[in-house]
């Protein structure tokens, strides 16, 4: 995807989802020159971002983390729950509650249900 940046320029999203564990964001200035690139689905980056997300708009969330691997309705406070997979030896995924007003309500790490499915297959 392509996202407009508030200060001008744009951000290109290269996601390996929905089951992929990486999303790269490449920032371009107004002339189209690359000004930066980073992998946004890393535990440390997500942990640092967790407290900054509440109140963020849906558009800003997409610009920050890219398309989620899963979206479902019925978060703790209504709205939707967006989920991203990332590399974790503890088999976690990152979930963000988005309210009916289009703003982030909360962000948490929870066990990835795919790990439970894999564990069930081994038994």
**Domain total of the chain:** 1
State whether the Cα torsion 95-97-103-105 is positive or negative: negative
Q: Give the domain range for residue 104.
A: 2-122
| Distance separating alpha carbons of residues 21 and 32, to the nearest angstrom | 27
Per-residue pLDDT for the chain (123 aa), expressed as one digit of tens each? 999 998 899 999 999 977 889 999 999 999 999 999 999 999 999 999 999 999 999 999 999 999 999 999 986 678 999 999 999 999 999 999 999 999 999 999 999 998 876 555 545
């Amino acid at each position: 995807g392509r996202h407009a940046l508030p200060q001008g320029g744009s951000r290109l999203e290269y996601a390996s989802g929905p089951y992929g564990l990486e999303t790269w964001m490449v920032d371009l200035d107004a002339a189209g020159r690359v000004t930066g690139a980073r992998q946004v689905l890393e535990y440390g980056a997500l942990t640092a971002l967790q407290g900054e997300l509440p109140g963020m708009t849906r558009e800003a969330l997409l610009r920050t983390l890219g398309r989620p691997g899963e979206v479902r309705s019925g978060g703790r406070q209504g709205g939707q729950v967006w989920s991203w997979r990332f590399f974790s030896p503890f088999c976690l995924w990152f979930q963000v509650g988005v309210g009916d007003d289009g703003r982030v309500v909360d962000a948490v790490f929870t066990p990835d249900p795919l790990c439970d499915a894999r564990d069930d297959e081994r038994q």
